[in-house]
Structure 1
Amino acid sequence: MIEITEKAATELRTLMESEDKKDHALRIFVAGMGCSGVQYGMALDNETKEDDVTVTDKEIKIVMANDINEELSEATVDFIETPQGNGFVIDNPSEMSGCGSCGGSCH
């Protein structure tokens, strides 16, 4: 089951409150493919689709399409702060990564 870190949960609660979206869930979706593998996107959403899977961790509802649920079974949503900026990230240890994982050339 996908998990959310305490820091990410705190940041999400703050974001949801400031945007008056306390009734929303964190939707995770496939945003594209690249040499480093699947690129996931995240958004606050208050609608569910028929094929959605919903999980709750640290009182945050997480929604995703059923077809990516298994891919994200060991993933963690985190919030990072770097010199380049702050944001939410998905750490997925089961995801293949590295140059060439898409079958293409990175040169």
Structure 2
Amino acid sequence: MGITLTDTAADRMRSFLAKRENSAGVRLGVKTTGCSGMAYTMEFADEVDVGDTVFEDKGVKLLVNAKSLVYLDGTELDYVREGLNEGFKFTNPNEKSRCGCGESFNV
């Protein structure tokens, strides 16, 4: 299935990446935390790590390690503005539920 970006998310990521020299892309993952068990992570990646799967969508390279890929496969990232808040939104078909504050999820 893979991981995909909306046009808005791709535009935003490309603008961030253009300000960084020698970036390998954006690393996506999950970590254990929160009241529901897991939270999404996103950071710049300077290199591709052994075991990373690399997806490219709309000119953006997305790097995901094997542990996180099982939870993220099929996810679409969007960049949304809701009132005064803005940020990346993960639409993940593997999610079974989210906590009330929306910061963590479980599968």
Category of TM-score, reference length = shorter chain:
0.7 to 0.9
TM-score normalised per structure 2: 0.79
When the two structures are aligned, how many residues end up with a matched partner? 100
Q: For residues 1-107 of structure 1, what are the structure 2 equivalents within 5 Å?
A: 1-17=2-18, 19-21=19-21, 23-98=23-98
Unmatched 5+ residue regions in structure 2? Answer: 100-104
Deviation at 1:83, TM superposition (A): 1.6
Alpha-carbon separation, structure 2, partners of 1:97 and 1:37: 10
Alpha-carbon separation, structure 1, partners of 2:12 and 2:21: 13
Identity of aligned residues (%): 27
Deviation at 1:52, TM superposition (A): 1.0
Alpha-carbon separation, structure 2, partners of 1:65 and 1:55: 11
Unmatched 5+ residue regions in structure 1? Answer: 103-107
Q: For residues 41-90 of structure 1, what are the alpha-carbon distances to aligned partners after superposition, in whole Å with 9 as ceiling and x for unaligned?
A: 10111112111111111111000111221321110111011124211121
Alpha-carbon separation, structure 2, partners of 1:93 and 1:37: 16
Q: 1:86 to 1:21 in 2, by over 3 A?
A: farther
Q: Give the structure with higher Rg (CA).
A: 1
User: Letter of the aligned partner of 1:91 in structure 2?
Assistant: T
Alpha-carbon separation, structure 2, partners of 1:96 and 1:34: 15
Deviation at 1:37, TM superposition (A): 4.4
